[in-house]
Structure 1
């Protein structure tokens, strides 16, 4: 009798059961609350302000009898309340346009729509064919070069969500070169997160963590630059090993369905069609648009609202060029239709973002000054490092931040929530605050590669047409490798008294 092959549950199913677990915790773990304060620090020559918790102010929420409150979540709540069955909608509409769920959902849909227009012109397809023709015999250089630059982008300006757009462009290219969709995700999104996790100057991660921990901002750069170089080199080697294995034996790929989709798409192209002036203008629009985005992020700290509008503008201009030059027989209505189709392709990824946010909402939210189960978990987990040996305490900080990142994926949000608690506790444990920041950035950044609550990851996987379950089966071993390397650097930092 033939055994049935076990299939990884759909991402929606996984999140549902995590919500069930979160709901159960609300009946077992009492709610806690912190007081907060404003702290200021210098970053990039400017004074920055963050709201952070005050560790010693933690207290349980109590009832009239003075007993800790375990406010178990109800099955359903009307009038905008939070019940178990409300998690999908409440998660989807939580936050604001600057991040959290609703802003990221809109960001993903607009990027999908904009690239729907760009891809409808077929200019990118023609560009891919031109690149393949001009790089024959040198295709392998694409992987290390792209991985290096995306990792550098993650390290310098916190590149993350932007990888979604690049994945849409590069994945069809790497598949046409004989690799697979997984390779495309590795050289774009994974590379950015390795850079993000090992950065010496990322304004959204290490700079904030150092600022709120009262550590000189951007200090310890030589150690971190060396760490970035090692992690990036390991990532490149691993990606090239996997990519070459797939190229030699396509059946070794983890993303067979996605590969077939893109191959089928490529087969429908007219390989004899010339690269026209209109194609050139679309590609130039995209290139100049990317330069505009990078300039905005580095120069004026552009974030989700600005970047989404920039991509919308790029898509709109590309559509107008497509109509004027009749690229792929485009008409005015095709701009609207392709925008809708492009957004639709990334809709599952956008839905995951909202549903994942529902996990935190069920636990009471991630605000330190509002009663929640998450605050209680945070307080007691942080207290575990009090009387442990230095190496174990530093290692625990890495593990702790990795776990918390499942619930609070935002690097800046996690820094403001956890570092005011971890920094003073690291003093008690005899671990320098610089090492505490190191544990934070490695735990925060590297787990973005695997957690389904990461909006940027799910958006990139959506662009690659790879299910999270499929991704998990592939990335699990690499994640263990990254964690082992991170642990080695944390231990090294303790041994050399990194401060």
Structure 2
């Protein structure tokens, strides 16, 4: 597969070509009361579309005046567009700062040591390890978007799980698969849900009750599947698709060395307090992207200071951990900016101003005009799942698709909250199978599993999750999630 930036470059070429063949158009907006609360929100008037020019406008190859976005201006203009409250510059800064803060948390070793200590204490009660690990990793995906970190835990857990009589597939299930179920059903993931809700102009962390329930249902479904599979392998190890490749680990008795200390306990308490602070800020004070980023930054600084006083990290180590954490998320931040550049080339995302994007919205909504709101929502879910094969970054996909999906939801009678739900489920669940996911391929590599073997095993489970996701989206429409 081409790299995400290569794909984006060809998308920008297609977007530029469309400006020469598609006439720009615009909508009018109206203010309506939303749900039982009666809160007012500005939405598109579906019948107000009008063309604003007799012929396509076309886009310049390069604009030197700075008043428009030419094809070659898309990267810079996209990155610096908007303001501190949203896409793109605000979201880019948010991703880098929060990524840096979590870099300090992970570098402190507290989360790693805490999980190893839990494993060490339950090692002889192996029936406790699987559910405990699955729940913890699912929470990690839901709370702070755990993904690539699962690779490090696979290195530790694959030999241990095989030594307990299971297989490497079981280890991938309780690490990577659990994180992605949590990621897909999260109520507060700063790198997917928060960004998508911000772009869709939906209050951050709204719909928590529905999403927490959804997380519990999907996590339970994943856990039941994992426990049943693990029990089968425990009884008949040779039936495993990875039985031959697991021979590399099978005779290696892996001892878990726990180094959990009082410092780890203090750091984890500060981490928990910071998460509660973020939740309180959003729900009680209506904090938004600038404040949330600063809260996570404060958490990173606080944890770094604790680790420094404990002799675990030096001041320079804290700085380096922040830089490394931000660097890990730099591709996602760049994708967000360049995705905004694509929107600018198409004329921008203001539905009342002439743009090619508005014309595309109009014709897409016409295709869905004869379908119900539930069918339209499922179509959004399918679109997001397919799109994830090309852009595996959750924040990047949100930046590319939500400027289209949010106003489209207004036109087809679906709430923007449901559009965000379709995005997170379609994005997160397909991460379990796409070969473009660095996290998945990394975990499979550690477990010495070929992707083709993994697909043979997991496709039925992923299909079940996607059907459950479709049912969830339909239920959200029927219950008026907004």
* 1:105-145, Cα deviation, whole Å (9 max, x unpaired): 21221122222323333333332321221232122103553
Q: 1:358 to 1:479 in 2, by over 3 A?
A: farther
Match of 2:46 in 1: 55
Q: Does structure 2 conserve the Cα–Cα contact (< 8 Å) formed by 1:132 and 1:177?
A: no
Q: 1:440 to 1:107 in 2, by over 3 A?
A: closer
Q: Does structure 1 conserve the Cα–Cα contact (< 8 Å) formed by 2:81 and 2:89?
A: yes
Q: 1:233 to 1:70 in 2, by over 3 A?
A: farther
* 1:157-184, Cα deviation, whole Å (9 max, x unpaired): xx6xx533x4476664455222677864
Match of 1:25 in 2: 18
| Aligned with 2:182 (options 181, 186, 191) | 191
Displacement of 1:19 after TM fit?
A: 1.8
Q: 1:352 to 1:463 in 2, by over 3 A?
A: farther
Match of 2:393 in 1: none
Q: 1:73 to 1:403 in 2, by over 3 A?
A: farther
Q: 1:16 to 1:119 in 2, by over 3 A?
A: same
Q: 1:123 to 1:10 in 2, by over 3 A?
A: same
Q: Confirm whether residue 409 of structure 1 aligns to residue 392 of structure 2.
A: no
Q: Does structure 2 conserve the Cα–Cα contact (< 8 Å) formed by 1:124 and 1:169?
A: no
Write the distance in 1 (CA, Å) between the matches of 2:259 and 2:298: 26
Q: Does structure 1 conserve the Cα–Cα contact (< 8 Å) formed by 2:23 and 2:56?
A: yes
| Aligned with 1:112 (options 99, 104, 116) | 99
Write the distance in 2 (CA, Å) between the matches of 1:336 and 1:39: 48
Correspondences of 1:419-430 after superposition (within 5 Å)? 419-423=409-413
Displacement of 1:376 after TM fit?
A: 0.9
Write the distance in 2 (CA, Å) between the matches of 1:337 and 1:225: 35
Write the distance in 2 (CA, Å) between the matches of 1:306 and 1:334: 25
Match of 2:379 in 1: 399
Q: Which runs of 5+ in 2 are unaligned?
A: 159-169, 243-253, 388-395, 445-450
Q: 1:102 to 1:185 in 2, by over 3 A?
A: farther
Q: Report the 3-state secondary structure (helix = DSSP H, G, I; strand = E; otherwise coil) of the residue aligned with 2:28.
A: strand
Q: Does structure 2 conserve the Cα–Cα contact (< 8 Å) formed by 1:98 and 1:303?
A: yes
Q: 1:34 to 1:310 in 2, by over 3 A?
A: same
| Aligned with 2:295 (options 291, 310, 316) | 310
Match of 2:163 in 1: none
| Aligned with 2:85 (options 98, 105, 125) | 98
Q: Confirm whether residue 278 of structure 1 aligns to residue 268 of structure 2.
A: no
Q: Does structure 2 conserve the Cα–Cα contact (< 8 Å) formed by 1:395 and 1:490?
A: no
Displacement of 1:292 after TM fit?
A: 1.8
Q: Report the 3-state secondary structure (helix = DSSP H, G, I; strand = E; otherwise coil) of the residue aligned with 1:27.
A: coil
Write the distance in 2 (CA, Å) between the matches of 1:312 and 1:486: 34
Q: Confirm whether residue 354 of structure 1 aligns to residue 318 of structure 2.
A: no
Match of 2:64 in 1: 78
Correspondences of 1:30-429 after superposition (within 5 Å)? 30-41=23-34, 48-62=39-53, 67=54, 69-80=55-66, 81-136=68-123, 137=126, 138-142=128-132, 144-146=134-136, 162-164=143-145, 166-167=146-147, 172-173=152-153, 175-178=155-158, 184=175, 186-194=177-185, 231=218, 233-236=220-223, 274-327=259-312, 330-387=313-370, 394-400=374-380, 403=383, 409=398, 417-423=407-413
Q: 1:377 to 1:242 in 2, by over 3 A?
A: farther
Displacement of 1:27 after TM fit?
A: 1.7
* 1:350-405, Cα deviation, whole Å (9 max, x unpaired): 222222222222222222112111211111221234456x6xx7534532575489
Q: 1:38 to 1:183 in 2, by over 3 A?
A: farther
Displacement of 1:449 after TM fit?
A: 2.6
Q: 1:488 to 1:11 in 2, by over 3 A?
A: same
Write the distance in 2 (CA, Å) between the matches of 1:466 and 1:348: 20
Q: Does structure 2 conserve the Cα–Cα contact (< 8 Å) formed by 1:163 and 1:188?
A: no
Q: 1:228 to 1:318 in 2, by over 3 A?
A: closer
| Aligned with 1:12 (options 5, 15, 30) | 5
Q: 1:386 to 1:237 in 2, by over 3 A?
A: same
Q: Does structure 2 conserve the Cα–Cα contact (< 8 Å) formed by 1:36 and 1:52?
A: yes
Q: Report the 3-state secondary structure (helix = DSSP H, G, I; strand = E; otherwise coil) of the residue aligned with 1:38.
A: strand
Write the distance in 2 (CA, Å) between the matches of 1:102 and 1:245: 50
Q: TM-score, normalised by structure 1?
A: 0.67
Q: 1:203 to 1:115 in 2, by over 3 A?
A: closer
Q: Does structure 2 conserve the Cα–Cα contact (< 8 Å) formed by 1:382 and 1:421?
A: yes
Write the distance in 1 (CA, Å) between the matches of 2:279 and 2:408: 29
Q: Does structure 2 conserve the Cα–Cα contact (< 8 Å) formed by 1:348 and 1:462?
A: no
Q: Does structure 2 conserve the Cα–Cα contact (< 8 Å) formed by 1:171 and 1:180?
A: no
Displacement of 1:40 after TM fit?
A: 3.8
Match of 1:3 in 2: none
Matched residue count = 420
Q: Does structure 2 conserve the Cα–Cα contact (< 8 Å) formed by 1:394 and 1:439?
A: no
Q: 1:346 to 1:131 in 2, by over 3 A?
A: same
Q: TM-score, normalised by structure 2?
A: 0.69
